[in-house]
Structure 1
């Protein structure tokens, strides 16, 4: 198997990194770091820390420089970070020694890399929000369109009482809608400028340091944390936790779709083929969602460990993020898009769903029967009587409702209803449409 299925020519069609792929390349990392240096120089010039002419030269070079990431590989391997090698290459691109000497003034490698990451995360979150919105939109359509379609609810994997397909879709969708509402807090933590200097004190910039950071944040469209965030990894850890939440909610829906397909209650248009069994239509996409969510749980557990940070800057914790965060982003985004594709391919078999999981004996009505018997009988006796009737139904092969009517002709037995299912489905569909605008 390849080192990463997201970049594999063989598996890439399934794992489909999509619009996230260009944001997670060496070239994108280098380009975003140059933009950080441009904003830093402009902010420092505005505060009188470096010459205006130097800031203009740095700004031009940041937009025009073409630096090959491969040329930085040896220096990156030696320093563990690409900034020293990139800084040397960029100073050459600036040209004149005087302005080139002002590049990176008073900053440190982590300032540049973390701020450059925030710039790319801003775009990544927009891509992921689009994927999330697509899944929610598909769920809203399913919930509204199938609000009254009867379906057997399952508890402990067996038919329990009736619900509707729309209510189940709403159950899938509400956690995703809540995850969407939480994105604002995720952005507030993840999209922050980092400008703290070597030890988090901004000592090289003197009293103008905080003003430089504020100007830089404004120019880049990031938040000013007002202090050093070198050892505060809440931005990355919180983003990973949110990804786990979104991927897990997607996988819950996918697991239920797999169960519906297995029960013959639905099929997936264009489902996967078997190499030897021509009748097979495998639930490939929902299985992919589940696999990605399972992987995300492990990735997140490891990435949360980066919160444990030694001193003012911790190389091991930082490298942990480099290893895991790209996989977290790619996996979560693909889980969301694959869920949307799954829902768009879902074809319910309404007749099979109306059969209530093959419940030919009508056992799914047991709760309604026990409730109807409560009154004529004490509650405990009503439940015990329903259990006896259910056992007889299994033994004789006679439907439970018929046995109940025969045994208690004076009791009106209403059919098992779906309670608030239809209303819940329509309420979710309306709420989702309102949230998406």
Structure 2
């Protein structure tokens, strides 16, 4: 049994793993990305007379995954420490004398692996963007639907002031809008060719090195660069940060759902079908399983992200161990982000909102959630500080005596000799929403005006046409 078929079992991946990212970072996709790079290199060198056109065509025909013995490739890689020497020898082994000596001409292992990685990351970003598009569209529908659904706003886990569920969701939609912008801005920094030879000078690639590099980038749909990045891994670290921060925003949604679905709150719940989130022993349980998965995915992504600061420390013209961190961490981060987005979409498209419970919870502790509103209402006559003191005393009395704030406020005002300054009608939650509805509307407008990453990319196996 090959080591490739004995990857550690991950229950989280089996329950919530994103298929698109798993495909992008699969072993065969990785090999295909290296082969596509070798084909493009040969074609570009043939066009610029670095090698003959016939040799280039022969190499492009031979550099196909059907010619690669995977088990032999990985066995050779274990001995060499890297996979490209074995890959090149298998390609060369499928060629006659002549072109077999022109494979990988002037390139180095990291050129092929980094360019292959850039192909994978470009597709990973496009897939994440597509998921963000689906999630944002679904979230925008919920924001609009609940723009006026009044609920308690909470700070430090306690009721603070009234807001709307649409405004709360709107802040999340704003984050996803910015994530989409970040992905779009990051593509030119991440989907970049690497073709500079052993020491980053392109010496072995010859006088046509820049022309060849530009053509390879064009053939592969990557961005060109004049500066080597063998040990400059800020772009790779940026990709990892994007994955982790997207997952973290999904986790913010998830944590709110977990909290709001608590029995004592009961305002928002995950989708329901028979036995979804069921317990093996407690028949009444409906656990927030998508939210729990997202939190686990996000926490894992955050832990992995910390390792990417180390990859940027690589010295001189080639790393000595820092590069290997990426091999383990980058594919996992892509899968974690895609998986978090998938589960977030499940929540958003099927969430169950109890607007009546939200309204009832405003009165849960005697209307203390209206303390700031009533303070502001009195401040015009009393000044802010005196009004604050009055409401503080009234709120404390309401809390300790389990009474209604409006009643204790009238008592405290009478004791302070300012009862006549109380308005006949104290402000209500519906009167004290501020810009909540506008926030929801603005979030939806911002989402629909945003641009997307170019998602019209051929899959890595489809690059075989090169």
TM-score grouping bracket, smaller chain normalisation: over 0.9
Alignment of 1:146-295 (within 5 A): 146-262=146-262, 263-270=265-272, 271-295=276-300
TM-score under structure 2 length normalisation: 0.89
Cross-structure match for 2:52: 51
1:64 to partner: Cα distance = 6.9
Paired with 2:145 and 2:69, the residues of 1 have a C-alpha distance of: 53
CA distance in structure 1 between the partners assigned to 2:248 and 2:313 by the alignment: 25
Q: 1:173 to 1:279 in 2, by over 3 A?
A: same
Answering whether residue 35 of structure 2 is matched by residue 34 of structure 1, we say: yes
Q: Is 1:371 aligned with 2:376?
A: yes
What are the equivalent positions in structure 2 for 1:414-429 lying under 5 Å apart?
Answer: 414-416=427-429, 417-429=432-444
Q: Are residues 436 and 257 of structure 1, via their aligned partners in 2, closer, same or farther at CA, if it must alter by over 3 Å?
A: farther
| 1: CA distance, partners of 2:435 / 2:336 | 35
Tell whether the 8 Å contact from 2:164 to 2:436 is kept in structure 1 after alignment.
yes
Q: Corresponding residue for 1:411? A: 422
Instruction: Give unpaired runs (5+ residues) of structure 1.
Output: none
**1:14-29 mapped onto 2 (5 Å cutoff):** 14-29=15-30
1:282 to partner: Cα distance:
0.6
Which residue in the other structure is 1:432 paired with? 447
Matched with 1:81 is 82
Aligned partners of 1:238, 1:139: CA distance in 2, in Å? 26
Taking the TM superposition and a 5 Å limit, the aligned residue runs for 1:384-399 are 384-399=389-404
Q: Report the CA distance shift for 1:414/1:193 in structure 2 as closer, same or farther (over 3 A).
A: same
Cα distance in 1, alignment partners of residues 64 and 87 from structure 2: 15
Q: Secondary structure at the match of 1:335?
A: helix
Give how far 1:160 is off: 0.6
- Structure 1 residue 9, shift from structure 2 partner: 8.0
Query: 1:265-344 alignment to 2 at 5 Å?
Result: 265-270=267-272, 271-344=276-349
Which protein, 1 or 2, shows the higher relative CO under an 8 Å CA cutoff with sep ≥ 6?
Answer: 2
**Distance in 1, Cα, partners of 2:147 & 2:362:** 18
Indicate if the aligned counterparts of 2:146 and 2:165 stay in contact, CA closer than 8 A. Answer: yes
Of residues 6-15 and 175-184 in structure 1, the stretch that sits farther from structure 2 once superposed is 6-15
- CA deviation after TM superposition for structure 1 residue 101, in Å: 0.8
Whole-Å separation in 2 of the counterparts to 1:157 and 1:79: 55
8 A Cα contact 2:381 2:421, kept in partner:
no
Shift of 1:128: 1.1
User: Which SS does the other structure have where 1:282 is aligned?
Assistant: coil
Aligned pair count reads 434
Once the 2 structures are TM-superposed, how far is the Cα of residue 52 of structure 1 from its aligned partner? Answer: 0.8
Asked if 2 retains the 8 angstrom alpha-carbon contact of 1:292 and 1:332, the reply is yes
Q: CA RMSD in A?
A: 2.1
Name the counterpart of 1:90. Answer: 91
- Could you say if the C-alpha distance between residues 310 and 188 of structure 1 is closer, same or farther in structure 2, counting changes exceeding 3 Å? same
1:382 to 373, 382, 387: 387
Q: Which residue of 1 aligns with 2:462?
A: none
